[in-house]
Amino acid sequence: LAKTTQPISMDSYEGQEVNITCSHNNIATNDYITWYQQFPSQGPRFIIQGYKTKVTNEVASLFIPADRKSSTLSLPRVSLSDTAVYYCLVGDLTTSGNTPLVFGKGTRLSVIA
Amino acid sequence: GAVVSQHPSRVICKSGTSVKIECRSLDFQATTMFWYRQFPKQSLMLMATSNEGSKATYEQGVEKDKFLINHASLTLSTLTVTSAHPEDSSFYICSASGLDIPEVGEQFFGPGTRLTVL
């Protein structure tokens, strides 16, 4: 499983766009990039997943450059309720159902009013 | 998305007692379930992987005789912390994946169980 590196923490004001970048230099050809969100005392929640270029859903966007060695999770106009830890994970989608997810340290996002 | 539940959500017990935590997949058949442990301000650490009908595979450093895992059906896995001690106090989270889930390979997490051993 490819190792990931993220900033330990980030602060943002409400209403701003937040971009969290994850480095995964050893990403393999079959690997997908998945982001999870975790609130205190709750299980992680799936946010978004992608393989290349850009993916957007109702919650976030995921930007992946051509070399796929990094990815950026973009949260538009954050609110206080977006304060959480965000984890970037990289793995082979076709086998991840039977392969445990390896969580790095994550990025602790604090949104300030 | 698929729903995974855990019971209880929090438990407080005395040192030396055993505690059972249940993990259920509510609307899909979970062929594989994972158990994680998370200490305060730290990331999730995998404890074991369990496949329905077979013995669990434990991560290095996790005592299989202390953390008993049973995955007897496609919708239920249990983690029993035997002879619990204060250092076992943690947040235990399960995740599940399996059949008839539209999102191939995706895992769904339970809400977690907060264990406090006095």
Give residue-wise pLDDT tens across range B32-59. Answer: 899 999 999 999 999 999 988 888 999 9
Interchain CB distance below 8 Å, B97 and A102? no
Closest to B94 measured CA to CA, from B70, B116, B117, B118? B70
Q: Which residue of A has its CA nearest to B52?
A: A98
Nearest by Cα to A14 from A81, A107, A112: A112
Q: Is the pLDDT of residue B100 over 70?
A: no
- pLDDT score for A63: 97
Taking the CB of residue A14, how many other CB atoms lie within 10 A of it?
13
Contact present, B24 and B76 (Cβ < 8 Å): yes
pLDDT for the residue numbered B31? 85
Strand partners, A92: A31
Whether the per-residue pLDDT at B99 is higher than 70: the answer is no
Which residues in chain B have their CB less than 8 angstroms from residue A87's CB?
43
> So what's the pLDDT on residue B30?
85
CB A88 within 8 A of CB A6: yes
State residue B71 phi and psi, 5-degree precision. -130, 70
The confidence score (pLDDT) of residue A84 equals: 97
User: How much is the average pLDDT of A55-83?
Assistant: 96
Mutating which of A30, A31, A37, A38 best tests the B interface, going by the most B Cβ atoms within 10 A?
A38
% of chain B exceeding 90 in pLDDT: 73
A29 touches chain B (CB under 8 A): no
